[in-house]
Structure 1
Amino acid sequence: MTSFSFDLQATDGRARTGVISTPRGDIRTPAFMPVGTAATVKAMMPESVRATGADILLGNTYHLMLRPTAERIDRLGGLHKFMNWDRPILTDSGGFQVMSLAGLRKLTEEGVTFKSHVDGSKHMLSPERSMEIQRLLGSDIVMCFDECPALPADRDRIAASMELSMRWAARSREAFGDRPGHALFGIQQGGLEEDLRAQSAEALREIGFEGYAVGGLAVGEGQEAMFGCLDYAPEQLPQDKPRYLMGVGKPDDIVGAVARGIDMMDCVLPSRSGRTGQVFTRLGVLNIKNARHQDDPRPLDEECTCPACRNYSRAYLHHVFRTQEIISSMLLTWHNLHYYQQIMDQMRHAIAEGRFEAWQTEFTQTRAQGDIDPL
């Protein structure tokens, strides 16, 4: 059986490209992971997600443990079989959702007790329980259980949270055990404090992981502050292991993160925006609900090869969005995911060919043009 490994194939400045090998297939980096919260990327068939170019999906521990439950998924053959996705899956630890969604939570050294946002039932998540749930799901990449304070927070709160997360990281590693072909990623915390991030990275290196995430960003700090942190945070992590920036982001966030040494990202944005009529294209963002599109026979983007652009006009997409037809979510989500994967593919080639900076300049200039003029 193929074990889990990372082959860093080329760097250009701090941007990196490589391949993460897993028993379920290779993940080309930089990689964007569509989010399949409840064992589905909303409005998409798994084979359609694959057709956009995705090598790996993300599943949510918190949502799946509440329904249909990890135990049920395990009895039904694991998450891959359950959702008909035979390629790699990364599961988050549940920590972030507990902090952001659950009601009446109580945080202790042991873990977090909380009430489900679904039905108010009581649950406990600890490093050990998170590892057990992710083992039952059968995900290929497992995330440590951590605590993520919302920013802004004062330094003492950030430091205490980071130290707790590092103790939980050690417990996660212990509970994960020996699982050949599966990987456990540690999560760096420390807010926007460079020295706390360095302490966190050192603690994670000592424990030892197959990959490392930069956590605690994309929680309201803004792009400038996030990039400021990414100017040093990835470099504090091991060079020879994948680096994953959690929960990011908009296209220019993703490109900026790759420029700063990040290998993997995930975000609900392309799929959520597809459902709300927000469309990402080479020329920036457009809103399909605007009246300017109602008589426009042109595609969203004439250079795009996704089904929405190949087969449908802006006028049609405007109509089905306005009438709340399900095909609107399907086509716009497919387009957005296709566009995101296209960016990743272009970056991989640009880094390999040593022209990432030129590519990034062109990317930024093209987006700055804005959408085509109305008819």
Structure 2
Amino acid sequence: MKTIKKLPLALLVFISSLELIAKQTMNNSEKNDWDKTFPKSDKVKIEKASFRNRYGITICADVYIPKNASEKMPAIALCGPFGAVKEQASGLYAQTMAERGFLAIAFDPSFTGESSGEPRYVASPDINTEDFCAAVDYLSTRKDVDSEKISIIGICGWGGFALNAMAMDTRIKAAVASTMYDMCRVSANGYFDSMDEDARYELKKSINAQRTADALSGTNALAGGLPDKIAQDAPQFLKDYHAYYKTKRGYHKRSLNSNGGWNKTSALPFINMPILSYAGEIRNAVMLVHGQNAHSRYFSEDAFKKLKGENKKLLIVPNANHTDLYDNLEKIPFDEIENFIRANLK
């Protein structure tokens, strides 16, 4: 301190300026490194992780850890929506649950985002269900996780995969499906079950013709994501998707729905291989959360009818649409989700 006091005033001012510039540079650097669609919390720390599923695909995840953690924690694996990446809604959910004391991972599904798998942008009812189980494998091996207190949260199409994983993986103590889609049902039957057998046959013919075209070209054509501009007469739910994926609110460069969409032939296995066949045999806790005004609400309501036992719950969020439960913190019922999971980890 004596040495500093002897320095000329101009030099002291210069040193202070350098310190301020350094702090601003560090802050700007942290902002530039933040690639999520939601603000960063100062209550959690974030690590990168990767693990392999039983098909040999490397799954990449962001791990959200409470900063004040001092002992083994309950853990949650999160994924979704269908066509999104971990930097979008699942990361927001993971960060929020970490703020509440859980170790939470948000992961990219096989063939998408930073995860591996070829060809790119393919979906599979089997492999995507396995992705959840592989996440449970990973969490079970972490020294800071209580392996007897692992749960999962699936958003949109990943809500269906969460229930499907729950039906076979007895290690999962609680599952939450938020604004759930049954991707097999909607692929095979269309929205609101409007597709009959003849229409389904024509759809299969079209997709199989695309398989031939892909085989001839040696590439896998993409279906195309949401348009940059949405027509005024488009269904409201498409406008809601556009408002999330194609604007600053939720756009991400690695998100399929924000960009070129899925491989055109991805729908084929979903038409032929239904999930949730054994949902009625799920013994551990399940909570379904859906918006009152969501076009997709019937998926959760019908799935709930299949569930048995006193540890099952359907929560309808008043005045919420499908995408409100992606990122609207005033609508996502995190208190109820946390309470439900904790009550069923005992």
Q: Same fold (TM over 0.5)?
A: no
Q: TM-score scaled by structure 1?
A: 0.30
Higher radius of gyration, 1 or 2: 2
Q: TM-score scaled by structure 2?
A: 0.31
